Amino acid sequence: MEQTKTQVETLLKKVIKKEHQITKPSLGMYMQTEKVSEITQSVESAFPCVISMNGDSDDDDDMGSDKICVIASCTGYENRRMFAAVGDMSEIKVDVIVNPSDDKIGLSGGLGKVLKMKGGPALERPCRGYIKNNGPLSV
C-alpha cells in the first residue's frame, strides 16, 4: 500500500496545470456545447491531459467529509465529475464507489475490507446472493 501511495504521489508531482483566460463571453458558452465536448474528449484521449473550465463547479470538490482531500478532479462523460482523493474512502458522500474485487466479490482487502467492516451483513448479503444466483464474476 505504501508503495502505491508513493507512486501516486510521484505521478501527481508530474502534473502540469495550465490556465487560459477566455475574454469573450460567447466563447464560454461555446465551450459548453456538445460539439466542443466531443472535441475535448478527442483531445483528452489523444494527449495526456484533462480540459475543464473554472466554472466546472469546484464546490463539488467537497466530498462531504473532512477526512477526504481531493487532489484532482475533472468532468467526464455527460458532465459527470470524477475525483482523485486521499483519505478514508468509506467516508465519501457519493452515489457509487467502484471497488476492484475478486470473482466472488470477496471484499477481503483494502477498500473492500473497510466497506465490509462498515457495511456489515447489509453489504455482504447482496454480494453473496449475487454470486449464488449468477456464479462468479467474469473478467
**pLDDT for 55 beyond 60:** no
On whether both 68 and 120 belong to a single domain, the answer is no
On whether both 14 and 56 belong to a single domain, the answer is yes
Q: CA 102 to CA 87: how far, in whole Å?
A: 23
Q: Phi and psi of 84, rounded to 5°?
A: -110, 125
On whether both 64 and 81 belong to a single domain, the answer is yes
Helix (H, G, I), strand (E, B) or coil at 99: coil
| Per-residue cell: 95 | 452515489
Q: Which tens digits make up the pLDDT trace of 11-25? A: 777 776 666 666 666
Name residue 108's amino acid. Answer: S
Let me know if 108 is exposed, middle or buried by CB neighbors in 10 A (0-12, 13-18, 19+). Answer: exposed
Q: Which tens digits make up the pLDDT trace of 65-84? A: 677 777 777 766 666 777 77
Give the rounded percent of residues in the chain with a pLDDT score beyond 70.
Answer: 75
On whether both 18 and 73 belong to a single domain, the answer is yes
Question: What local confidence, expressed as pLDDT, does residue 42 receive?
Answer: 84
On whether both 9 and 70 belong to a single domain, the answer is yes
Phi-psi category of residue 54: left, alpha or beta, with phi > 0 → left and psi -120 to 50 → alpha: alpha
Q: CA 104 to CA 131: how far, in whole Å?
A: 6
On whether both 10 and 45 belong to a single domain, the answer is yes
How many domains does the chain fold into? 2
On whether both 114 and 87 belong to a single domain, the answer is no
Domain that holds residue 121: 99-139
On whether both 50 and 89 belong to a single domain, the answer is yes
On whether both 49 and 106 belong to a single domain, the answer is no
On whether both 45 and 62 belong to a single domain, the answer is yes
On whether both 46 and 80 belong to a single domain, the answer is yes
On whether both 8 and 36 belong to a single domain, the answer is yes
**pLDDT for 108 beyond 70:** yes
Q: Are 101 and 137 in contact (CB under 8 A)?
A: yes
Q: Phi and psi of 76, rounded to 5°?
A: -110, -150
